[in-house]
Amino acid sequence: MSARDRALGAFAGLALGDALGMPTQSMSRAEITRRYGRIETLVDAVADQPIAPGMPAGSITDDTEQALLLARLLIDGDGRIDPLVFARALLDWEADMIRRGSADLLGPSTKRALDLLQSGADPAEAGRGGSTNGAAMRITPVAIATPPELDCLLDAVTEASLVTHNSSLGIAAAAAVAAAVSAGVDGASLPEALDHAEAAAAAGAGRGAWSAGGDIAARIRWARGWVSGLDSATLADAVYQVIGTSVAAQESVVAAIALAQALGERPADALTLAAGLGGDTDTVAAMCGAILGAQHGFAGLPAGPVGTVLTVNRLDLGPVVDGLLELRGRK
Q: How many domains does the chain divide into?
A: 1
- Residue-level pLDDT, tens digit, the chain, 331 residues: 999 999 999 999 999 999 999 999 999 999 999 999 999 999 999 999 999 899 999 999 999 999 999 999 999 999 998 888 888 888 787 777 777 666 666 677 777 777 777 777 777 777 677 789 999 999 999 999 999 999 999 999 999 998 888 899 999 999 999 999 999 999 999 999 999 999 999 999 999 889 888 999 999 999 999 999 899 889 999 999 999 999 999 999 999 999 999 999 999 999 999 999 999 999 999 999 999 999 999 999 999 999 999 999 999 999 999 999 999 998 7
pLDDT of residue 2: 96
pTM higher than 0.85: yes
The residue count for the chain: 331
Residue 234 marked in a binding site:
no
User: What is residue 121's predicted lDDT score, i.e. its pLDDT?
Assistant: 72
- Could you tell me the CATH number of the domain that includes residue 190? 1.10.4080.10
44 labeled part of a ligand binding site: no
The reply, when asked if residue 186 is annotated as ligand binding, is no
Whether residue 118 contacts residue 301, with contact meaning beta carbons closer than 8 Å, is answered with: no
What does the pLDDT read at residue 115?
77
pLDDT for position 208: 86
Tell whether 282 is in a known binding site: yes
Q: Is 280 annotated as a binding residue?
A: yes
Q: What is the pLDDT of residue 119?
A: 74
Q: Is there a binding annotation on residue 63?
A: yes
**Which range of residues forms the domain containing residue 27?**
3-330
Biggest CA pair distance of the chain: 51
